[in-house]
Amino acid sequence: MTQRLTPDICVIGAGSGGLTVAAAAAAFGVEVVLIERGKMGGDCLNYGCVPSKALIAAGKHAEAIRQASDFGVGIGAGEIRVDGQRVHDHVHEVIAAIAPNDSVERFRGLGVNVIEAEARFIDHDTVRAGEFEIAARRFVIATGSSPLVPPIPGLDDVEYLTNETLFDVKQRPAHLLVIGGGPIGMEMAQAHRRLGSQVTVVEGQIALGKEDPELTAIVLERLRVEGIRIIEGAKVTRIAPSARNGEASAGIELTCEDGDGASFKVDGSHLLVATGRKPNLEALDLPAAGVEFDRAGIKVGSNLKTSNRRIFAIGDIAGGLQFTHVAGYHAGLVVQQILFRLPASFRPALMPRVTFTDPELAHVGLTEAEARKEHGDRLEVLRFPYAENDRAQAERRTEGRIKVIADRRARILGASIVGAGAGEMINLWTLAVSKKMSLSDIRAYVPPYPTMTEIGKRAAITYYAPLTRNRWVRRLLGILRRFG
């Protein structure tokens, strides 16, 4: 027997965006059905942000031990010992600590009707999930994305890892091969290198190619210094098991082709495929709902509505920026429209992003290239290095800089930071861009000393440095001095 439900809102997908919509609606006493076919918390909790940052943290501790002698701290003789099982346990302990916040039990306690099944549209305003048919006033699709696995010949003949399986590995890879030099690939490459693995990254174009090349160069140099081999402009043409000491399954061999067409091979023990993400569309039967989509995801307007006015799409499935905080922001915009009938519009330029390598690479607003395309040469590009910051010197974290883009009226258009704590420091600049603040606003605020955040104010002050050499300003000062 099929049971029919008629809630006010039906949310499909219990990742960060879907959970936010469900919790907010339930808090206002609105009837909500939440459908999830897999794990509550979605990719971020189980396979993405949370486990990756836990692994990065383990790698940072290992690197801190290696650098301890720089501070006069001894660590004894011998190599650092890394317990792969304990690292694995640490990652999953972090997931377990956060999981109750996203659990079925918690959301049912909030008043949300959670259905653990796969959702499929059967018409423009009805979804079937397990034994239920849900006819809601509004639907929110938040099914997220999955690893994109390219059709490389031979890939199916070897055991390979994606972000969904990487964190189940209990023993340290001897030599991790990474296909893909984007944020996920580079973060995991550095974490594994710091935990004792050899690492080789093969990238078809430029590693971290979506970021400012001036700042990216600092990150890539650090990774290479730490011993990571980064091969750019190379295409993987074939993958095969490699034989070691007569054991056919002992490793993995990549056959690659460089930009000149020359072939070469790379051999390793494990393979991580980090070549991007694809939207989770297949099971939804979107044509039945009259929802338009393409390979990038569901087509939405700036208000996140689909071609079916009853249906919204948020997060990765909406075909734009694929970040947990973006999904959460989407959720707020949708709640605003569904519950309060208030207009809302998503502005991608306000969304910050961080690559959690060490040094971190953070950005918000327009890059220099984007700003020049939009504003021509009517720009101010301001920089300030970590090396001239007292806290950075005290902690020996002097590699990096801030880069601020402003227009000729000193309005802040964007900011990029590479260095220690960049992911935390970008918060101030996200506020500045969203509120259309000027460099004078940053110059006027007082950061505590000594903090690395001071580099932002120092960068803003450089905008006013030419005034000290302006002859009219100097004449004015001379006149004012005559009055005592």
The H or E element containing residue 431 is helix 422-434
What digits encode the pLDDT tens for the residues 189-225? 999 999 999 999 999 999 999 999 999 999 999 999 9
User: At CA 336, angle to CA 331 and CA 338, rounded to 5?
Assistant: 90
Half-sphere exposure of 383 (CA within 13 A, CB side): 8
Burial class of residue 441 in the structure, from the number of CB atoms within 10 Å of its CB (0-12 exposed, 13-18 middle, 19+ buried): middle
Residue 165 has pLDDT above 50, yes or no: yes
What superfamily does domain 3-147+278-348 belong to in CATH?
A: FAD/NAD(P)-binding domain (3.50.50.60)
Identify whether the C-beta of residue 76 lies closer than 8 Å to the C-beta of residue 322.
Answer: no
pLDDT band for position 78 (cuts 50, 70, 90): low
Interatomic CA distance for residues 82 and 120, integer angstroms? 45
What pLDDT sits at residue 248?
Answer: 47
Every domain of the chain and the residues it spans:
3-147+278-348, 155-276, 359-467
Q: What CATH class does 155-276 carry?
A: alpha beta
Averaged confidence pLDDT in the chain? 95
Average pLDDT over residues 436-449: 96
Residue 434 has pLDDT above 60, yes or no: yes
Share of the chain above pLDDT 90, in %: 90
- As beta bridge partners, residue 247 has 244
What pLDDT sits at residue 249?
Answer: 52
What pLDDT sits at residue 318?
Answer: 97
What digits encode the pLDDT tens for the residues 9-68? 999 999 999 999 999 999 999 999 999 999 999 999 999 999 999 999 999 999 999 999
Contacts of 89 (CB under 8 A, 6+ apart): none
- As beta bridge partners, residue 401 has 385, 418
Cβ of 146: how many Cβ atoms within 10 Å?
A: 17
Tell me if 3-147+278-348 shares its fold with 359-467: no
Identify whether the C-beta of residue 357 lies closer than 8 Å to the C-beta of residue 187.
Answer: yes
User: At CA 433, angle to CA 297 and CA 440, rounded to 5?
Assistant: 170
What digits encode the pLDDT tens for the residues 366-403? 999 999 999 998 999 999 999 999 999 999 999 999 99
What pLDDT sits at residue 138?
Answer: 98
Domain 359-467 CATH assignment equals 3.40.50.150: no
**Phi–psi pair at 10, nearest 5 degrees:** -120, 120
Residue 246, Ramachandran bin (φ over 0: left; ψ between -120 and 50: alpha; else beta): left
Bond into 359 cis (ω within 30): yes
